[in-house]
Chains A and B, each alone.
Chain A
Amino acid sequence: MSFAAPLALVVAGIVAATVVALHFLARDRPRPQPFPTARFIPDRPPARLPTRSRRPRDVMLLLLRAATIMLAGLAVARPREHAARSAAPRVVVLDRSRAVGDPIAAAASARAELRAGDVLVSFDSTVTVHEKWTTAQLSDSATTIARPRGSLSVALVGAIRAGARLRRTSDSVELVLISPIAAEEWDAAAARIAREWPRPIRVIRTAASKPSDARTPPRAIRGSTDDPLRATLALDGGNTHVVADSGAPRGARVVRDGLTAQDSVWARRGGVLVWWPAHLENTHWPSGNDTASAVVAGSATVVADFPMWRAPEGATVARWASGAPAAAERVLGAGCERDVAITVPSVGDLALRPSMRALLSALTEPCGGAPRLAPLADSAVRALGEARPRGAAPVFAPDQPSALTRWLLAATLALLVAEPFLRKRETAA
């Protein structure tokens, strides 16, 4: 058994000892009270008061008070029962994102760190917590085809929550991070979230993915022959011929008419499906009565008057100048689908502008955006393994009071209720 606040036991012991001492001291000074027949009491010096004895008569009251104080101290100390552990439990965070160059090696590293009772947290853009991990789960993370972009912030939040649950039965929890820690996985929040872990984080850096081919991934478009976006794509070096459905999915497919089942199958196999309807009024997407004066996607900005349609739910990849989503990405199997709610005018030269070509490039990037797979510098990663300053308050959820604590509190309350009755009885005696 351990205690969440062992100092409370020490304080309770000191207070109980003080109460016992007061019991002996208080009895040596009887209280004066009026008594008309005092003259008949033999006149003896007070020093010979026979009650100066080492044995208190109100033993029951003394024991009750001491027991009340000790029970209250035990309750405040919050005892915790847990099985004896030879080492602190671990939360092993395994990166399964596209930044991992050798997923099998990463899974093997995780297997080496995991012990019975530890928790496995695997992450990419989302996090999965396996409180009772299995080898099969490790194999799945190593062999999965879909590898979205990873987020360390998401991973650390999941790890902190898993650690809080482990901490209910253990005084300390170790966090092991197995990841290449690529630049694209690190954001401004990751460092701050990492500092919430009360102990240094042990980092095992795995091999990072190689940056993909420098050549621009192939892009194709399907739509009417007079579609202005064809011209944009052609100027940007894309394939304006009709897309074939066969073949391994590579690059991006821009669909200007309706989506088909084959499009979804193609995307699930790893392609980037960009649904950019030529006629947005045929969709069920919400439209605003406003117009937007610009649209931004990554570093591309197109300034023009656009009717402001809102993209359906997903990760926003383009925004109107007002901040509303103009394009959103959804994971689809091994690939993704991007829904673009930007109207390309059929008249004018907007489709031919460089800004429009840049917008098209941004919207046809690989799923999760252009990969930045270069590992983060060691100096940035070193902060994860540094000791935390004293007094740093952990974000672990406060311990839930155990049943033992509740029983101790109930017993203390019962003794407190009984004390006045016993005191009255002792006084009457």
Chain B
Amino acid sequence: MTNKFMDNKFILRFFWIVILGIIWQVIALSEVFNLTSFPRIETLLASLIKDILNGDIIIQTLYSLRLILKGLMFGLIISIILSGVSMISKVFEGFVDTIIAIAHPLPGISLLPLVILWMGIGERAIIFIIVHSVVWPLTLNLLAGFRAIPNIYKQIGKNYGLNSLKIIQYILVPASLPYFITGLKIGWARAWRAVISAEMVFGAAGNAGGLGWFIFKKRVFMDTSGLFGGLIVIILIGIMIEDLFFEKFEKMTIKKWGMSI
């Protein structure tokens, strides 16, 4: 039953991608837009394959992904600490609320000039921007998750004779998991945005630079089809993470436990 559903979903996705591709091709062939700004699909794919074969795009994608993972990890740790602390103490809750109110509306990219002054233009600066864009939505979601747990769950746990640690392990964490996963999804998407925009401003931060730098280089050399290649890679990775990683994770946890459909 579940297998069929999976197949269906992939077939559907594939179907829609093909339809969108056809629409794209028709527009490109009609030459309503300049071919240099709206290239045909075969040109796009050819340039993507070329960039894959000479290794450029792969190295730069891996570089960006590494930065994102680092940033996400730091962000996750900080979020867990912040939300945990504010669950324990009212005073800290006020602090966390205030800092979220201050920092959450600030787009990472608007902090760039400051970040450059504070920590220069290296990898650290990009990771700082990623952490900034991940931490606030993730903390908000974790807090919402904790707060949404009915008190009665805890009381049931106590009735079973569980100690505080066991209550956290068996009740609080699983019960807030749907919120946690949503937070992680938002954090992941935000991290992508942050890393691409930061790289487009900083240039090559490491030795080869990341995907944002790749796209920027394509822009300045007016290689529009190459630019689309970079975008396609971002889309593919996004779909892969969404469909494979998060889906699996949800199936293993909250769907199996009957918390979500």
User: Is this pair of chains taken from one and the same complex?
Assistant: no
Residues of B within 8 A of A (CB): none
